[in-house]
Amino acid sequence: MEVPSNTESCSSLGSSNQSSLPNQKPSSADKSVGINVLLLKRLRRLSPLLFPGICSLPVILFTLLLLVCILEQYIVYHVGLISSRYYLVLGKKDWQGFVYTTLYSLLLVTTIAGVLSGKSYISSMLYISWRRVLTHALHRLYFAGINYYAITITPHLNLDNPDMRMTQDVDLLCRTLGMMVATLLISPFKISYYTYQAYTSTGWLGPTMILIFFLLSSVVNRFVMDPIVPRVVQAEKCEGDLRFKHMQIRAGSESVAFHVSGEVEAIKTNSALDDLVRAKQALFNRQLWLNLCQNLFDYLGSILSYLAIAVPIFTGVYDDVDSSTLSSIISKNAFVCIMLSSSLSSLLDLCGSIVQVAGATHRVSQLLEALEQLRSHWNSANDKASASYTDLTKGYLGLPAASPPAYSASPAVLGTLYTASSSGGPPPSYSAVCTSSSEADDRSSKDLMVEQDASLLITSQVDTELTPTTDLLSHHQKLSDDQVALIAACVNPGAQEAASAIRNTEEATQADINGGESNEVAPAFTGTSWPLGFVLQNVTLSVPGTTTALVRDLNLDIVRGHNLLIMGPSSCGKTSLLRALRGLWPIQEGVLAYQSSYGPKAVIFLPQKPFLTNGTLREQIVYPEQLCDEADNPRIVVSDAASSVMPEPTEATAMNDSCGDASPTVCYDPTENAGNQNTESPTKKTREGTVPRLKLTPDRDQEMGTTQPNQSSLTKMNETNNANQDPENDNHQSADAQTQLSEVARRRLDANVVASNAGGLASRQSPTDRQLLRWLKQIKLASLVRRCGGLDSDPGWIWSDVLSPGEVQRLCFMRVLYHQPHFAILDEATSALSEDVESILYSLAADAGVTVISVGHRASLRPYHHALLTLDGKGGWIFESLQAT
Ligand SMILES: Nc1ncnc2c1ncn2[C@@H]1O[C@H](COP(=O)(O)OP(=O)(O)OP(=O)(O)O)[C@@H](O)[C@H]1O
């Protein structure tokens, strides 16, 4: 299977399957960077970012700068005439005129000093405001969706050092522009005025000579400047590479020290330095010719002004004036000609700045374009998924076809459904096969290869219920027609009041599940009516850009109350599967459906490489939530980790408008929620009352027995279904098996989404400090509170450097306890811990009602899970129940 390489045919990284990433030529080797049409286009694209609105600070400063520049030129003109005035009064020995001229000159000089300082200050302000708005714009794009991740794993973008582009290159661009802008602004006025003055002094000859000279020098400079721009771009890249190397050593200093590999790193760092020096050298070599031209034309310009004034003098225009008046006229004429020539040559002097601006503009624009490309890629995939979702949900759950679910209005609310093209060929026949652990143990790795027509389903019990004539959702979830209609009402926008009714439905459903005949066909996941977290149907997953499958045709439903362990040899694709679940990697084929946007209260990931942010201990625990107020009045920003993350909640709406990012950032005050006990309590109660506890005590098997179908019950259900089927239906079922499976998965997902939506995840109460401290003590981190000065004191640590790997893992696990999500996805999250601490952590997670999906190598993990998925790294996989262990 070829992964499509063109932009048209692909969807989005991490958000859709059958996708490759946007294609773009390598940026640094891009020969198109220069002083050219592309530069103008890029500057035009940057201008709305630099001038975001008529009342924005950059526009106000820009206008102020323009006014100050005009004032400056007015005063400079009069300052320039001072010498001419002195020639006159001194030549005539006019005492009074001398005193007056002196006072007048003092006033002008004082004023010009103030104006020039003010101009410089406003230029600096303009620079910093530009830097702020431009960096904010880049940040918005960089943190939109998973752009910050996609840009680093998308090799064909070949975009070096995005961090440096957002910092140093933006700084260079804004600073140089800030310096240039005053000259650029005033030049048209200045040139027009002094052209007129030169014309009145010298006739047409003076200004014509000067203008021709300027045009000539511009053409020469243009050719000298052009090759400099790519060298500026290259030098900036090398600068970024060297910085990155130093950053890498700083981050891994301890590992380097363990290896005592300073010399190796020195060689590599010096190599980066040598590259930088070479790049700078090439730049300076080119700049030499530019500087030569600039200086030559500058001085030729000053001579030219005297040539211009010499013509009327030698042609006798001033023959009838006395010598002091002639001196005054020469001085004045020289001044206006010099001013005209210097106005023009100051434009030429900007050539050095222009190449800097051009280089920085190209680099910043390349980043901007790549980010926009990734974002639109992401958005179009989301739109596609939204459209698929609307299509697929049309006509079931009682939804009128013309009334799409709330998802289309707010993808963040209802989640995402990702579809891929089918793999072609005959649809696989789905037989419910549940491999026992003993059988699995006997299998060789060869046996792990799964046949196309023998898919194993975690919730195989559910799938054995599939019959073409059955209302799948109602049957599966034991819902009455009224309940299904209620869900439909809740899916529709504006049906918020249905949330409480849904809770009632949950209770009713729970009663159904627990009582009477429903026990016989009760779902595997008793304890919740809306248990579905992730649905994988025929999922094939490869490393992006390659065709070698890590997992092939995987069918899996990940449900609440059903802990899943994923194992397999190193590099077999365990983390990659989690990446797909998180939407970071696209899948090649199949259907991967999940709720993507509830954040850490629904699904939390503890990655293999733990991430600790800067700040207080509490900030580590609540991560990825952000405390945005003082500790005594904590406000928590709940960011949607799977969708766009906006830095400023107040800008969320504007960003949706301008950037098309549909996922809002929610900011809520837990103190408000605390007061709303009526809303809180039922949710909390329902949650506590329904989520099964996996107790790691002797009665565990018994508990698990209630949450896990055993083989005999599966067989029984198969028999029941077979008995109900007639031959016609057999054919029908075979042909529609794939469709039905998708259908039931979507219905269950939808129902789950609706219920979670109605359940008010964001309104769940946060644990108290007392509870946090109790947990910290239980996981043996109590001393950490003292070491870092309390929960809310910032010790200024680089946490991952200060804490041991075991402490880091335990601290990260606190996030699971704090958020108490429906699902915690743990990628070797306890690998650095002893088995007894591991046991404590899993017990606490079970007590909190958290369903865990673990990746790990240790057999000690098995007792905490209901099922095991083993990958063989060649595409094969096997699922086995762990209930008997
Ligand atoms: N960003 C990436 N670019 C290219 N290949 C990658 C990338 N990330 C992972 N891979 C490759 O994908 C394969 C599966 O990696 P993955 O991290 O899923 O393995 P794993 O089973 O979790 O391994 P381990 O048990 O060692 O953690 C590996 O061969 C790895 O080299």
Q: What is the pLDDT of residues 57-102, one digit of tens each?
A: 999 999 999 899 889 888 988 888 888 888 888 888 889 999 999 9
In the prediction, which pLDDT does 809 show? 94
**Residue 571 CB–ligand 1 contact under 6 Å:** yes
Cα 154 to chain centroid distance, Å, stands at 14
In the prediction, which pLDDT does 51 show? 92
The yes/no answer to whether this complex scores an ipTM above 0.85 is yes
DSSP per-residue codes, 657-717 = HHH---PPPEEE-HHHHHH-HHHHHHHHHHHHHHSPP---STTHHHHHHHHS--HHHHHHH
Share of the chain above pLDDT 70, in %: 62
For 268-285, what is the HEC assignment? HHHHHHHHHHHHHHHHHH
Task: Provide mean pLDDT across the span 474-496.
Answer: 34
In the predicted model, is pLDDT for residue 853 greater than 90?
A: yes
155 CA: nearest ligand 1 atom:
3
H helices present in 529-676, as ranges: 574-582, 617-622, 652-659, 670-675
578 CA: nearest ligand 1 atom:
18
**Residue 870 CB–ligand 1 contact under 6 Å:** no
pLDDT in tens, 224-238: 888 888 898 899 889
Task: Provide mean pLDDT across the span 707-718.
Answer: 31
- Pocket-testing residue among 152, 575, 870, ligand 1, by greatest number of atoms within 8 A of Cβ: 575
Please name which of 410, 379, 374, 411 lies closest in space to residue 141, comparing C-alpha atoms. 374
Assess contact for 635 and 628: CB atoms under 8 A: yes
Q: Which two tokens stand for residue 694?
A: 């996996």
**Residue 541 CB–ligand 1 contact under 6 Å:** no
Taking the C-alpha atoms of residue 463 and residue 741, their distance in angstroms, rounded to an integer, is 7
Ligand 1 centroid to 622 CA: how many Å?
Answer: 28
In the predicted model, is pLDDT for residue 146 greater than 70?
A: yes
Taking the C-alpha atoms of residue 865 and residue 885, their distance in angstroms, rounded to an integer, is 9
In the prediction, which pLDDT does 207 show? 81
In this structure, the strands spanning 564-567 and 636-638 are unpaired
Task: Provide mean pLDDT across the span 386-407.
Answer: 37
Taking the C-alpha atoms of residue 555 and residue 533, their distance in angstroms, rounded to an integer, is 14
Assess contact for 360 and 50: CB atoms under 8 A: no
Please tell me the least confidently modeled range out of 188-202, 277-291, 490-504.
Answer: 490-504
Average confidence score pLDDT of the chain = 67
Q: Whose CA is nearest to atom 26 of ligand 1?
A: 570
Task: Provide mean pLDDT across the span 386-413.
Answer: 35
In the prediction, which pLDDT does 351 show? 78
In the prediction, which pLDDT does 589 show? 87
**Residue 52 CB–ligand 1 contact under 6 Å:** no
**Residue 543 CB–ligand 1 contact under 6 Å:** yes
573 CA: nearest ligand 1 atom:
18
H helices present in 203-261, as ranges: 205-225, 228-251, 253-259
Cα 864 to chain centroid distance, Å, stands at 34
Please name the amino acid found at residue 689. G
Architecture per CATH, 37-381: Up-down Bundle (1.20)
Assess contact for 686 and 759: CB atoms under 8 A: yes
How does DSSP classify residue 603? E
Please tell me the least confidently modeled range out of 545-559, 582-596, 728-742, 865-879.
Answer: 728-742
Ligand 1 centroid to 572 CA: how many Å?
Answer: 7
Ligand 1 centroid to 573 CA: how many Å?
Answer: 6
**Residue 575 CB–ligand 1 contact under 6 Å:** yes
Task: Provide mean pLDDT across the span 620-624.
Answer: 87
Query: 585 or 731: whose pLDDT is higher?
Result: 585
Task: Provide mean pLDDT across the span 27-48.
Answer: 79
